[in-house]
A and B are shown apart, each in its own frame.
Chain A
Amino acid sequence: MIAHRRILVVEDDPDTADQLIDSLTSSGYRVDLAASGTEALTRGVAGDYAVITIDRMLPDIDGISVMRQLRDDGVVAPVLIISALGEVDDRVRGLRAGGDDYLVKPFSFVELLARVEALGRRSETIVKETILHVGDLAIDLVSRTASRRGKHIVLFPREFQLLEYLVRNEGCIVSRAMLLQHVWDLHFDPSTNIIDVYVGRVRRKVDDQQAYPLIHTVRGVGYCLRAPG
């Protein structure tokens, strides 16, 4: 498990690299830094990393090419490409279709952590259960129903999908963009507070008149579903 908490950060700008290392380290990751594409190739093959983050614009090799080369060399760790909006082309957008992801600059570090967390989990084995439990919440993946303390919660299909995604990422921060991406399959950052309103309604259905709240707002980023204690 410890081995899976190692992260390779590929970033040529020293300030950005410091900030990345700082926030990842404080979240319990062990971070290695590669300041160029060539260094990334050497380190990527040598170390067993849970996630690799690569800046799109490196001085020597293009970030996407570094990722391709790592794959060719047999590195299976999921990759998070960090790109300026102007550099988001089809190759970058295509990442989300596979097991990888991208993040548009400027980003909040909570969002970065959420995405790295999600990518890291993806490489672990997914438990094949039909009913998931968080605290007194139970969701049935087969009948697509949810209940708290045995009391049925009425949800629209999309609302159930949203709750399922939150439950699957129990204890982790899920950003608005991640929700939009996984629940609606939309790949842009919403400019309005629409996701908040939507989650608000799900939250009312799930948390109103219960012993404790499950869905928590993470200011400025998104949400986290967790049981108390």
Chain B
Amino acid sequence: MSGTVSVLLAKTLTSSTFKLALIAIGTFGVIVSVIFSYVYLSTSAYVRGRSDRAIMLEYSSLQGAYERSGREGLLALTQQRMADSSFSGDMYVLADPSLAVLGGNLKVWPPTVTETSGWTEFRAAHRLLNETNRPLIRAMVGTFPSGDRLLVGRDISDLDSFTDLIKAAVISGVALIFVLAGVASILVTRRTVGRIESINATSRAIMLSGLDKRIPLRGSNDEWDRVAENLNLMLDRIETLMGEIKQVSDNVAHDLRTPLTRMRGRLEKAYHGQRVAKDDQWLIGETIGDLDAVLRMFLSITRIAQIESQARKDGFRNVDLVDIASEVVELYDAAAEQDGTRLTVIADREVLATGDRDLIFDAIANLVDNAIKHGRAEGQVVVAAENVDGKPVVSIADDGPGIPTEEYEHVFKRFYRLEHSRYTPGNGLGLSLVAAVARLHGVKIDLLDNSPGLKVKLWFSAIVR
């Protein structure tokens, strides 16, 4: 079990969804980091600026006092400040040019401060604390014309820890976002990978064992269920087609076996028998005839395949269906006469459609051929070419036994034969050719009960003028 989990995890980590999530997290993380850094930097700059301004203000008021009333005036003001109840804890040091302290609240001039004017930072001396824990002082130093130096400073340890706090918050915030996003993307990816894995597993099972398996639906009605649904529909279709192909190849095998067996038997008999010129002549003739039947079958299959590949649309012209129907009727007139069938044509003046004349002729000829062959002896076959509701229609009707309604959907299948015996002449490809021609021309085929008999209607699409 832990094996499957680690495989799933490995698939999750290598899946494209996860990689996409990582890219998203990376981009988002950089943006968040930039925003947070800006917040941190501007906050600490603001805080420092405020304290610097306060120090500067204090320095200039002390400087004023010194200029007005010298050392004493300045020291008096510092005393006054320190005595104030709201004293902020500022540091004041006034020293002579030799840096001996003259007054203020520091005992000695801070040894690290060597500047004569400007900003400085130092650690305040403290007898209880070691070097690093001593408060950090930020101070302004200035030198008066007399050589006396003034230092005004303030403990900024608090400010420092405040900005440190912000820094820590920013860093941990960004880190938290990264971790959460990472976990979320792993979870989401795992779900996706899980669904894809179930589809993959079913596909593998189908490849291994057959087309009867289907991808399970979760009932969540989400896009994954729809993908699974469509794949299942596709599998249904493939299964049907496979069944049809099997049926077709069985039929081809049967239709080939019959003439081939006949030929073989005939040749074998001749091989073992006496050479008689007249018999040999007959045998060769019959064998060529059987071979021609086999070749014609292959030709029909190729022809249907070629029509179905849509390769012949460039031969399309505007054709008059009345002309074609009349020519077919004329061609079959002799055959109908032979069968005692009355073959007639009913036509409007002109019925125009777009298509390939040869193919339409062949399709109508096949239907007329069927109508004469399968219609009633001494019966009637009517071919009509008309405009019905602005649509060109060709119909072929006989008054024979017709075909049962439940067979309608099957008769256009390749090699399908109504009587299920396969011994009557014809190869069961005629109607498949009609269906292929119809598909190429966008023709809708209706099979209707002519009571009695069958009526086939071909609905062409009206031409674009």
Contact = CB atoms under 8 A, between A and B. Distances in A.
Interface stretch (B103-111, B267-275, B298-306): B298-306
B334 A220 contact: no
Contact of B337 (A106, A190, A192, A201): A201
21 contacts: A85-B302, A85-B303, A85-B306, A86-B302, A108-B292, A186-B358, A187-B358, A188-B303, A188-B362, A189-B296, A190-B365, A191-B429, A192-B369, A194-B369, A197-B334, A197-B335, A197-B338, A198-B333, A200-B334, A220-B285, A220-B288
B299 A104 contact: yes
For chain A, what secondary structure do more than half of its interface residues adopt (helix, strand, loop), or is it mixed?
loop
Interface of B: 285, 288-289, 292, 295-296, 299-300, 302-303, 306, 311, 314-315, 327, 330-335, 337-338, 357-358, 361-362, 365-366, 369, 427, 429-430
Contacts of B337: 201
A106 B298 CA distance: 10
Interface of A: 85-86, 88-90, 93, 104, 106, 108, 156, 158, 184, 186-192, 194, 197-198, 200-201, 219-220
B314 A198 contact: no
Contacts, number: 63
Given A85-B299, A85-B303, A186-B362, 4 more contacts: A191-B429, A197-B334, A198-B333, A219-B289
B22 to A, nearest CB: 51
Contact of B332 (A88, A106, A194): A194
A92 to B, nearest CB: 12
A88 B334 CA distance: 31
Instruction: Return the 7 tightest CB-CB contacts between A and B, nearest first.
Output: A201-B334, A197-B335, A198-B334, A85-B302, A197-B334, A220-B288, A192-B369
Contacts of B292: 108, 220
B330 A89 contact: no
Nearest to B296: A191
B358 A188 contact: yes
Contacts of B334: 197-198, 200-201
B306 to A, nearest CB: 6
Contacts of A88: 306
Nearest to B281: A219
Nearest to A204: B334
B382 to A, nearest CB: 19
B424 to A, nearest CB: 13
Contacts of B335: 194, 197-198
Contacts of B295: 106
B288 A194 contact: no
Contacts of A108: 288, 292
Contacts of B430: 191
Nearest to A104: B299
A60 to B, nearest CB: 25
